[in-house]
Chain A
Amino acid sequence: MVKKLIKNSTLRIVMALAVVGVLSGALLVFVYEYSTPKIRINVENETERAIKNIFPQAEKIQKTKDDFFMVTGAENKIGGYAFISEGNGYQGIIKLIIGVDPKFTKIVGMEVLESQETPGLGAEIAGSKFRKQFENLPITQKIEYVKNQKPTKLNQIEAVTGATISSRAVVNIINSGIMEVRKNVKTGGV
C-alpha cells in the first residue's frame, strides 16, 4: 500500500526533485569552499600587479579603503595613490585602476582591470599606445579627448581610431573617479 503510494503519487516526484536539489547544493558547497579563497587571491594579485605596473618603484601597497590604495616607495615616502573606478563601456563594464601623484595634480598611469570591448578596436584602450597618453596628464582640469588628430592642449588625449565610444568611456570613468576621490579627500574619507 505504502509502496504503491510512493510509486505513483506526486510524492515520488517531490522526493526525486528534493534529493537532486539537496545533492546538487551539497556538491556546490564544496566547490564554493574550495574556490572562493583562490578567486579572492586572484583578484588581489591582479590589482597589485596593475599598481606595480603604474608605480614600478612601489615597495608597499596599502589598502586604506575599498578600491583605494596608498603606494609607498623607498624610505616610506609616499609615491602616490591608486584607485579603482568603473563605468559603462561600449559593451559591458570597464574597470580601471588609476594612479595619481601624492599631490593629486597629475596621473602617473592607468591600467585596465576589466573590459569587454571589441577585440582589435575598443580593446586597444588596454594597449600601451593609448594608455601611455595618460602618463603625466594633469588633472587640475577635466580630461578631454580629440578624434583623429594630435592633442593640442595639455589635458587632452587622442581617442583610439574607430573606438571613440570606448575612449570616451575611459575618459569619463577617469574624470568621475578623480572627482569622487577628491570629494572623499575633502571630507576626510580617505
Chain B
Amino acid sequence: MGIADAVKPIKTVTIDEMAQAFADQFGNITWGAPGLEAADKIAITLQLKNPLDQNLAVVERIRLTCTEGATMALKAAGNGTVLSGDGTEDMIVETDVATGTFDLEVSYALVGTATVVGGATQGSGFVGCKESVDLVFA
C-alpha cells in the first residue's frame, strides 16, 4: 500500500462504519420463520434490526395490515403491545423494549396466502418497512 492511499480523499462511507448509536437510530422490520399452522392460526415474530443487521431492542410503533379476511393479534404470552385494532386486519403495535420484537398471530379461515405488511404511523421513528411476509394457510 502506497502513501497515496493514506492521503486520498474519503469517497465513500459504508454502513459498517456507522457508530452504534447512529445505526440504532434506524430500524428495519424483519420477520422470523412462520410457525406451523394450528387451528387456522400461524405465529410469526417481527424483529427490528438496525442497518448493521443487528437486533434492535427498542420500542417502535408500527402499523400492521394484512390480507382482507385475515385478522391479527398478539400471540398469547408473546412480546410486544397492541395499541389499537387487536383482532382486526389493521393493527397498531409497539415492539418489546427488551428485544425489539412483536409476536404476531395471524388467523385465516380460508385456504391461501395471507400477507402482512408493516408501516410507519403516529409516533413512529425512522423505521423501514419494505419487508413483508406471506403466510400460507392450507
Q: Do A and B bind each other?
A: no
